[in-house]
Amino acid sequence: MFLLAGLTACAVTKPIVTTRVVEPTVVETPVESVQSGQQLASAPVPAAPTTSNLVSSQGSRLQQADPNRVLTYQNGQPVIQGGGQFSQNQQDLTYLPADSSTVSQPVIQKASTTTSKKTPKKFSSWVLPSRKIVKTPKSLVDEGRNPCALTFDDGPHKTLDPQILSILDQHGIRATFFLIAKSVKRQPELTKEIAARGHEIAHHSWDHDDYKKKNGAGQAADLKRANDVFNNLGIYPTVFRPPYGSFNKKTVSLARQAGLDTFLWTNDPEDWRKRDAATIRSRVNARYTPGSVVLLHSIVPGTVKALPGIIEDLKAKGCQFVTSSEWIAAVSSN
């Protein structure tokens, strides 16, 4: 997210972006904040900033930039003159005006993606039984990465999912919605809206039956019946989460044949059991480890209330939010 150090924030039209305010102890000039890839709204374009005016809390890539190259704006995006453009994945850049006398050199702070005694040595194979996981939480952190996936099960919910979409838009986050196909059939427009807003639609069975209680033929029929509903909407999921996290080897095999990776979670606040927002937020925070895959349920009102705080906590821990398929690609081999 691109941040302009100062006191005020500009309005961004779509998606809405909530910005963090940088403490004004260093820079006195009020400026505006933008999200990477979004157009500036109502903010005057600063005169000829350069890469030496950028302060990064995440990206060592800035150290490779020529400090004398001038930044301009094209379609509201900062572009390095003479070639090169900041990618949408660049994290937490703070812009200081070119005429600022307080900062003349880039300041690279340590990323907040640090390991601790709680960091597991590896991801459980249970999280992704359809592939070999080749990364560990520590190896991701060592590479300066911390892919975290927010996942929402059991929707679409006609009133709560729109609220979740609004919150995610405000923070510029893409998430994964594991939808029950029977509910999708009742809420096709909401399902298409979730996809249109840039989120991943994933397979959560036809009607939330326990796959362990089905034989192979029953599992295959359920997978296909749900897939047909998604496909009729022009949606082709690549990720499957078995209801209740209940599956067997046959489930994984049949899902792969249907083009689906079986994908579970690493962080379960049990929002379906204890539904107040404060407890849900506290549990996600306490159960965090680098590379967290957070299991939430979009049918729980307390989860919606807890979501802004959950996002704030995970951002503070250095999470780089990704979809489920992006998380899979980041940690596994085929």
pLDDT of residue 333: 82
Indicate the residue among 64, 85, 109 that finishes a domain: 109
Q: Are residues 84 and 201 in the same domain?
A: no
> How far apart, in Å, do the first and last CA atoms of the chain sit?
31
Q: Answer yes or no: is 120 within a domain.
A: no
- Contact between residue 222 and residue 255 where contact means Cβ atoms under 8 Å apart: no
pLDDT of residue 116: 55
Query: Mapping DSSP to helix (H, G, I), strand (E, B) and coil, where does residue 225 land?
Result: helix
Look at the block and give the residue holding tokens 């893409």.
174
Strand partners, 79: 72, 85
Q: Are residues 100 and 191 in the same domain?
A: no
Q: Are residues 156 and 104 in the same domain?
A: no
CATH number at residue 203: 3.20.20.370
Q: Answer yes or no: is 117 within a domain.
A: no
Q: Are residues 194 and 305 in the same domain?
A: yes
Both tokens assigned to 270: 């049990």
Cα separation of 244 and 312, whole Å?
27
The residue type of 95 is: Y
Q: Answer yes or no: is 28 within a domain.
A: yes
DSSP state of 108: B
Cα separation of 193 and 176, whole Å?
13
DSSP state of 43: P
The residue type of 14 is: K
Q: Answer yes or no: is 118 within a domain.
A: no
- Contact between residue 7 and residue 33 where contact means Cβ atoms under 8 Å apart: no
Query: How far, in Å, are 141, 267, 306 from residue 116 at the CA level?
Result: 11, 16, 25
pLDDT of residue 329: 97
Cα separation of 6 and 208, whole Å?
48
Q: Are residues 157 and 224 in the same domain?
A: yes
pLDDT of residue 33: 35
pLDDT of residue 24: 35
Q: Answer yes or no: is 187 within a domain.
A: yes
pLDDT of residue 198: 97
Number of domains in the chain: 2
Q: Are residues 67 and 129 in the same domain?
A: no
Asked about 154 being catalytic, the answer comes back as no
Asked about 209 being catalytic, the answer comes back as no
DSSP state of 212: G
Q: Are residues 183 and 312 in the same domain?
A: yes
Q: Of 169, 199, 194, 165, give the one whose Cα is nearest residue 17.
A: 169
- Contact between residue 255 and residue 270 where contact means Cβ atoms under 8 Å apart: no
Query: How far, in Å, are 142, 190, 192, 223, 264 from residue 203 at the CA level?
Result: 32, 15, 14, 8, 12
Look at the block and give the residue holding tokens 């907040």.
112
pLDDT of residue 117: 60
Q: Answer yes or no: is 119 within a domain.
A: no
Q: Of 244, 241, 267, 268, give the one whose Cα is nearest residue 252.
A: 241
Q: Are residues 97 and 176 in the same domain?
A: no
Look at the block and give the residue holding tokens 């596994």.
332
Those residues of the chain that have pLDDT short of 70 are: 1-117
Q: Answer yes or no: is 286 within a domain.
A: yes
Q: Are residues 1 and 80 in the same domain?
A: yes
pLDDT of residue 29: 32
* Residues ≥6 apart with Cβ < 8 Å to 110: none
Instruction: State the residue range of the domain holding 54.
Output: 1-109
* Torsion region of 92: left, alpha or beta (phi above 0 gives left; psi -120 to 50 gives alpha): left
Q: Are residues 287 and 168 in the same domain?
A: yes
Q: Answer yes or no: is 116 within a domain.
A: no
Q: Are residues 291 and 160 in the same domain?
A: yes
Q: Are residues 46 and 154 in the same domain?
A: no
- Which residue is catalytic, options 207, 261, 297, 313? 297
pLDDT one-digit tens code per residue, 130-167: 999 999 999 999 999 999 999 999 999 999 999 999 99
Indicate the residue among 85, 109, 133 that finishes a domain: 109
- Which residue is catalytic, options 92, 153, 154, 169? 153
Indicate the residue among 55, 82, 109 that finishes a domain: 109
